Structure 1
Amino acid sequence: MNRSSFVLLVALLATGSILGLSGCIGGDEGGAPAPKAAGVTVAGSTTVMPLVEAAAEEFNRIQKEVRVSVTGGGTGVGIKNVAGGTADIAMASRDVKPEEIAAYGDGFQEHLVAYDAIAVVVSQPIYEGGITDLSREEVLAIYSGDITNWKGLGGPDERIYVAAREVGSGTRDTFNEMVMGTVEAETPGVTTYHGSNAEVKTAVTGSSRAIGYLGLNYLEGGALRAVALGGVTPSPETIKDGQYPLSRALKLYTFGDPAPGAEKFIDFLQSAEGQRIVAESGFVPV
């Protein structure tokens, strides 16, 4: 360093002006860092989860202001978490129950995103053995334990393996209400209970004599077939017009007005692009 440079440095130190150079020495040439993205947590129904995961992936890709994360747990868990403030949005395959409103308050706000159906499925050998259409009364008799062999329904001489969802599942509640007559119905005919649609699918595809129920979007792949109910098969047309008896609406719930980030994601799901993802995920757009 020559004498003139040394004199200048001393002068700057004396006046405090050297601090003004800090932005030029090792500073961020791009200016202030970008603001941190707002986090939005979504929890609940495993039926709705594949749709919301696909939407969240696209939503997170096209913008940087909001980051959405998704977990399952079942409709009941989602509703409890959104009411308790540990989730911003609940995924639900049923309406909020009166007892949930009594427990958590009446602040739930409903946001319709898709239509779905509960498909009653059987193992491929059972379908090929002649069980392609069941009445509601026959399904009820199976889950009640009154019919235990497929032979009694015109099928193979095989004991029926009956799969169902665990307590807390919105799919279970809808099935019980629509088929068994009440959400709290006993189902003594059930062989095993499962925590998700995927587990029911695995149980039915892994057996040669099973029956189960699951969300429509889980029908792809695997050695299982959806049977008609009362002569009506589940399809986009029969689901949306209500002909198929196990049709239902899929919803997101917030507790009170959604936060800006949550509202932005809900708006995306209800937009034309979001509804395209609904259809691609195997559900019926609203």
Structure 2
Amino acid sequence: MFKSLRVGFTGLVIMATLAACGSTGTTTTSTNPTSSTSGSSATMPAATMVATAMPAATDATMSATMMAPTTAATMSATMMATATDATMSATAMGSTAMTGGAMSGKLTVAGSSALLPMMQEAAKEFQAKNSGAQITVTAGGSGAGRTQVCSGQIDIGDSDVKLSSDERSKLNCADAVETPVAIQAFAPVANKKGPGSVNNLTKDQLVKIFNGTSKNWKEVGGDDQAIVLVNRAKGSGTRSNMAKFLFAGDDKQFATGASEEDNSETVRQTVSQTPGAISYLGFAYLTNPDIIALQVDGVKADKADIQSGAWKIGGPGYAITKGKGSELAQAFIQFVTSSDFQNSDAFGKLGFVPVQK
């Protein structure tokens, strides 16, 4: 009887183990500056959870335990019920599961290119702690982030500004949850050819440049070089922050520029390659040696001036979910806003200021 029981129980364990071997996979880290998908992903199926929770008993253990046939039947029924419960639970959670206390599943994050470097870094660190999580981070602009999260195309929409009341209504997004994830700032930037020795502009000078009144750098003390406006596309949170500073929020006062770009990296490249060009970027992009970050009214564009309140262009950046979001989305946002991440060297080097000092 003991031999028969050992064979029966071992068979159950083997069946559970074989069923568990059907889902493994890996992901790669993208080199695209507007996309980041890193870490490994292996969502644990229900059978794996059962097999892991109940390791196979050894022959010695089984031999030492006096078990009636009815007990073996009870064990078999219990294991089947447990597997069914685990399957139902995994199905209900969608692409999110708990594996040994760590998070697993897939998460899509898109929107603000100003927040992109920070969210990419957060995704990399979160996946290192949760190997079963696969987080894809892309840009596209704050407007796209707000629209796509409200329509259910993505899990988290990054934005440099909050949803307007009109957007909440039109996008059917009254239940949106907007979590501040960083204090960010924006600065005017220029190609090295044009400003000449000028590294500081007044707010009035910037207003005249961006509304098209000033057309040559020599009008503000620079070279005899035509000014080339490079704007962000309408709906961009970076553009909205500049409009708030320059034009009290009236986006229509921006002059039509040579181009309107969808993301910060394209702006950086365009400005660095175009003599006379001027635009605006988040602080995470200011360290590039091919562009000049301009002071405004004698205040330097750096983290210390953001913290002191001396720098006037910027505000909170937001992670937006429709409703509370999935368990994985909530866990990721909690990590982004944690003191460990916000006070880390990686976060600080990007020029962001913690949402909570």
TM-score by length of 1: 0.85
**Partner residue, 1:285:** 354
Counterpart pick for 1:81 among 144, 148, 157:
148
Change (3 A) 1:241 1:253: farther
Matches of residues 1-286 of structure 1 in structure 2 within 5 Å? Answer: 21=11, 23-24=13-14, 28=18, 32-33=47-48, 37-103=104-170, 104-127=172-195, 129-188=196-255, 190-275=257-342, 276=344, 277-286=346-355
Unmatched runs of 5 consecutive residues or more in structure 2: 22-46, 50-89, 91-96, 98-103
Change (3 A) 1:205 1:108: same
Secondary structure, counterpart of 1:172 in structure 2: helix
Secondary structure, counterpart of 1:58 in structure 2: helix
- Asked if structure 2 preserves the Cα contact closer than 8 Å seen for 1:44 and 1:90, the reply is yes
Give the aligned residue type for 2:232.
R
Change (3 A) 1:29 1:199: closer
Change (3 A) 1:18 1:83: same
- Asked if structure 1 preserves the Cα contact closer than 8 Å seen for 2:17 and 2:48, the reply is no
* Rounded Cα–Cα distance in structure 2 between residues aligned with 1:130 and 1:24: 75
Give 4+ residue runs of structure 1 displaced > 3 Å after superposition. 17-32
* Rounded Cα–Cα distance in structure 1 between residues aligned with 2:107 and 2:303: 30
* Rounded Cα–Cα distance in structure 2 between residues aligned with 1:265 and 1:25: 35
- Asked if structure 2 preserves the Cα contact closer than 8 Å seen for 1:174 and 1:183, the reply is no
Give the aligned residue type for 2:168.
I
C-alpha offsets along residues 165-220 of structure 1, whole Å, 9 cap, x if unaligned? 01121111111122123343232252221111111111111123211101110112
* Rounded Cα–Cα distance in structure 1 between residues aligned with 2:279 and 2:17: 62
TM-score by length of 2: 0.69
Change (3 A) 1:208 1:38: same
Give the Å deviation of 1:51: 0.8
Between the aligned residues of both structures, percent identity stands at 27
* Rounded Cα–Cα distance in structure 2 between residues aligned with 1:30 and 1:272: 37
Higher relative contact order (CA 8 A, sep 6+): 1
* Rounded Cα–Cα distance in structure 2 between residues aligned with 1:27 and 1:152: 75
* Rounded Cα–Cα distance in structure 1 between residues aligned with 2:17 and 2:298: 72
C-alpha offsets along residues 67-113 of structure 1, whole Å, 9 cap, x if unaligned? 32212211111111111122221111112222212212321212111
